[in-house]
């Protein structure tokens, strides 16, 4: 890319960088850097696709293409080198020397002052600005002939800057680091009693890596670096170090977890195949203290109670489709079973209280422990079976009580027929004969109804003139009904059926039609007469002047 402001004049309102950067801001005399009013910071927000906004950008990254290229080239050609976090565009690094030299190429001459005080102009000729990137000076004719590249390494583009205050305060030579000082202290007091504590401190500090700055001093890690280091430590603690992973006999903790789960599943399948109902891990039940044994038995009892409740709910659901003919029929049997259940629970509780403390009998042999365990399990099984029987009795009693309740009578919906007491008597043919002549031309049948008033007083041809429509039934312009002068919002065509039509000769004043049966309403939407009448009544209009159809 080249500099596009070679032929532009330099104005007093322009900032020093306006022409040198070829800034594309045409509405302001300042360049992007001088127009930027943001406070200076070490890092700036930038958007990274897939990550979002992060604090990793530079200040000039959001400038126009030419200004961004200018500051990238000037920062690369700065001597001594300067980091992006140390810059304060457009003041640091200072570009006054570069801009003065660039202005000489732009105006084509340089003013030289002689010892006697006189001034003279010396021509400055270089390559066209259209071939020079922003931030670089044009090459001279000799450099063009020599084929010298115009980049940041070219001596003419490099300008020395003054050192910053922060750089002056930094020591020139590296001093003793904290680790070296700690090592010397450990060597000096190695025979002291506090040496183990210092060694632990040294190990803790050695585990936390430290980053050396450009001056040679080691500095503590930042919060982000500390979080990354902790994440690495957690991964090493779970999965092992790199050396552990690269070993041939390495086994991932995930594989170990799945192997244990698969082993438990295999053992459960073996017990299911052999018919065993007890877990081998309960063989050492007698070795438990009395309190722990009691808690375990209570957990087993509660599990059985939950199963019994679940079975009761299932049986109750089945009762909706199946009749239990052999269910409990009297309350005395239910009371006896409840008393048996209470007695079983009391006996089980007393037996648990009288169980001796097995933790003190450490001299019993393995055979005695296994036999006592089998005896205890048999007793628990018998008690559980009795408890299950009592629970079934309660369930049957509840089912019987539910079945004794009177069933609500089925509510039959009333059937709607034509034989209703409030229905008026049928009308005669004369009463059902209505005049349907058009009230505008008096020569056609009125078959167009308007809403919301509901009057059907125009034929289709007169309605096209009085109430023109668009979209089949919406008035194209504000119109009013010719009968009541209300505003018309919709227009529909009504189809009437019937063959008994009074001739026009006998009735010169209009046309009479006998409407004995309704076929359909076509308001550009096919509707029957009943639907059209109901729709007109719902909209608040007056009733149509057509007779109700007679249903045979």
Overall average pLDDT of the 533-550 stretch: 48
Same domain, 70 and 144: yes
Same domain, 321 and 263: no
Per-residue HEC secondary structure of 131-188 comes to: HCCCCCCCCCHHHHHHCCCCCCCCHHHCEECCCCHHHHHCCCCCCCCHHHHHHHHHHH
Please check whether residue 514 lies inside any domain of the structure: yes
Please check whether residue 176 lies inside any domain of the structure: no
Residue 164 has pLDDT above 50, yes or no: yes
Please check whether residue 320 lies inside any domain of the structure: yes
Task: Please state, in angstroms and rounded to a whole number, the distance separating the CA atoms of residues 493 and 486.
Answer: 18
At which of 277, 296, 319 does a domain end?
277
Q: 375-414, pLDDT tens digit by residue?
A: 777 777 777 788 888 888 888 877 877 777 665 655 566 6
Overall average pLDDT of the 158-168 stretch: 73
Same domain, 396 and 493: no
Cα Dmax for the chain: 141
Q: Give the E-state strand segments of 73-145 in sequence order.
A: 78-79, 109-113, 119-123
| pLDDT: which is higher, 521 or 183 | 183
Same domain, 118 and 132: yes
Give the pLDDT band of residue 158 (cuts 50, 70, 90). Answer: confident
**Token code pair at residue 60:** 């000039």
Residue 449 has pLDDT above 90, yes or no: yes
What is the CATH classification number for the domain harbouring 485?
A: 3.30.40.10
Please check whether residue 193 lies inside any domain of the structure: no
Same domain, 494 and 381: no
Task: Please state, in angstroms and rounded to a whole number, the distance separating the CA atoms of residues 498 and 516.
Answer: 6
Same domain, 61 and 152: yes
Same domain, 132 and 82: yes
Give the pLDDT confidence score for residue 468 in this predicted structure: 92
Q: 333-364, pLDDT tens digit by residue?
A: 555 655 665 665 666 556 555 544 444 444 44
Please check whether residue 388 lies inside any domain of the structure: yes
Contacts of residue 398, Cβ cutoff 8 Å, sequence gap at least 6: 312, 316
Residue range(s) defining the domain that contains residue 109 = 18-167
Overall average pLDDT of the 204-226 stretch: 57
Residue-averaged pLDDT of the chain: 73
Give the pLDDT confidence score for residue 491 in this predicted structure: 93
Contacts of residue 179, Cβ cutoff 8 Å, sequence gap at least 6: 205, 206, 210, 218
Same domain, 63 and 161: yes
Same domain, 286 and 273: no
- Picking from 251-255, 281-285, 446-450, which range would have the lowest pLDDT averaged per residue? 281-285
Task: Please state, in angstroms and rounded to a whole number, the distance separating the CA atoms of residues 82 and 80.
Answer: 6
Please check whether residue 369 lies inside any domain of the structure: yes
- Picking from 88-92, 371-375, 510-514, which range would have the lowest pLDDT averaged per residue? 510-514
In our burial notation (b when 16+ CB lie closer than 10 A, e otherwise), range 194-233 reads eeeeeeeeeeeeeeeebeeeeeeeeeeeeeeeeeeeeeee
Same domain, 100 and 72: yes
Same domain, 335 and 372: yes
**Token code pair at residue 293:** 């044994």
């Amino acid at each position: 890319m080249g500099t596009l402001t070679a032929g532009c004049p330099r104005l007093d309102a322009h900032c020093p960088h306006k022409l040198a950067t070829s800034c594309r801001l045409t509405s302001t005399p300042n360049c992007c850097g001088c127009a930027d009013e943001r406070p200076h910071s070490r890092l700036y927000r930038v958007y990274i696709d897939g990550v979002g906004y992060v604090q990793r950008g530079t200040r000039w990254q959001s400038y126009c293409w030419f200004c961004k290229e200018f500051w990238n080239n000037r920062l690369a050609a700065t001597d001594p080198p300067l980091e992006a976090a140390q810059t304060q565009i457009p003041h640091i690094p200072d570009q006054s020397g570069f801009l003065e030299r660039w202005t000489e190429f732009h105006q084509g001459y340089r003013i030289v002052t002689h010892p006697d005080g006189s001034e003279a102009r010396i021509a400055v000729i270089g390559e066209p600005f259209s071939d020079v990137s922003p931030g670089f000076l044009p090459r001279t004719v000799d450099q063009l002939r020599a084929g010298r590249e115009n980049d940041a390494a070219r001596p003419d583009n490099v300008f020395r800057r003054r050192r910053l205050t922060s750089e002056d305060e930094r020591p020139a030579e590296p001093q003793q680091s904290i680790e070296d000082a700690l090592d010397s202290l450990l060597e000096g007091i190695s025979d002291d009693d506090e040496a183990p504590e210092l060694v632990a401190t040294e190990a803790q500090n050695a585990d936390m890596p430290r980053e050396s700055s450009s001056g040679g001093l080691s500095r503590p890690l930042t919060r982000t670096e500390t979080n990354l280091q902790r994440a690495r430590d957690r991964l090493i603690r779970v999965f092992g170090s790199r050396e552990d992973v690269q070993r041939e006999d390495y086994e991932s903790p995930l594989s170990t977890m799945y192997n244990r789960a698969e082993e438990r599943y295999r053992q459960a399948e073996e017990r299911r195949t052999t018919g065993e109902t007890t877990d081998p891990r309960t063989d050492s039940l007698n070795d438990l203290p009395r309190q722990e044994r009691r808690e375990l038995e209570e957990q087993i009892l509660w599990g059985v109670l939950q199963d019994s409740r679940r079975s009761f709910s299932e049986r109750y659901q089945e009762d909706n489709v199946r009749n239990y003919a052999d269910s409990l029929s009297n309350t005395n049997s239910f009371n006896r079973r409840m008393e048996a259940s209470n007695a079983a629970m009391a006996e089980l509780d007393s037996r648990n209280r009288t169980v001796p403390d097995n933790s003190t009998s450490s001299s019993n042999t393995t055979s005695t422990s296994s036999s006592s365990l089998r005896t205890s399990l048999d007793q628990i099984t018998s008690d559980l079976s009795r408890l299950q029987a009592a629970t079934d009795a309660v369930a049957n009693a509840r089912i019987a009580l539910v079945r004794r309740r009177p069933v609500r009578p089925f509510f039959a919906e009333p059937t709607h027929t034509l034989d209703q007491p409030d229905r008026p008597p049928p009308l005669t043919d004369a009463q059902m004969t209505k005049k349907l002549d058009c009230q505008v031309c008096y020569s056609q049948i009125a078959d167009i109804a308007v809403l919301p008033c509901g009057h059907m007083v125009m034929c289709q041809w007169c309605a096209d003139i009085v109430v023109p429509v668009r979209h089949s039934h919406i008035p194209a312009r504000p119109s009013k009904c010719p009968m009541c002068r209300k505003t018309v919002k919709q227009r529909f065509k009504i189809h009437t059926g019937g063959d008994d039509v009074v001739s026009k000769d006998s009735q010169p004043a209009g046309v009479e039609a006998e409407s004995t049966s309704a076929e359909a309403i076509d308001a550009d939407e096919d509707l029957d007469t009943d639907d059209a009448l109901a729709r007109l009544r719902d909209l608040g209009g007056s009733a149509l002047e057509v007779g109700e159809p007679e249903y045979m």
